[in-house]
Amino acid sequence: QVQLVESGGGSVQAGGSLRLSCTTSRYAVGRTCMAWFRKPPGKEREGVASIDSDVITNYADSVKGRFTISIDTDANTLYLQMTGLKPEDTAMYYCAADLYCSGSALTSFAPARYNFWGQGTQVTVS
Task: Please answer whether residues 115 and 98 qualify as being in contact, where contact means their C-beta atoms are separated by less than 8 angstroms.
Answer: yes
| Nearest by Cα to 51 from 86, 91, 98 | 98
**pLDDT number for residue 45:** 96
C-alpha R_g of the chain: 13
Confidence of residue 111 (pLDDT cuts 50, 70, 90): very high
**pLDDT number for residue 34:** 95
Calculate what percentage of the chain has a pLDDT beyond 90: 79
What pLDDT digit, counting tens, does each position of 84-107 carry?
Answer: 999 999 999 999 999 888 888 888
What pLDDT digit, counting tens, does each position of 4-37 carry?
Answer: 999 999 999 999 999 999 998 778 787 889 999 9
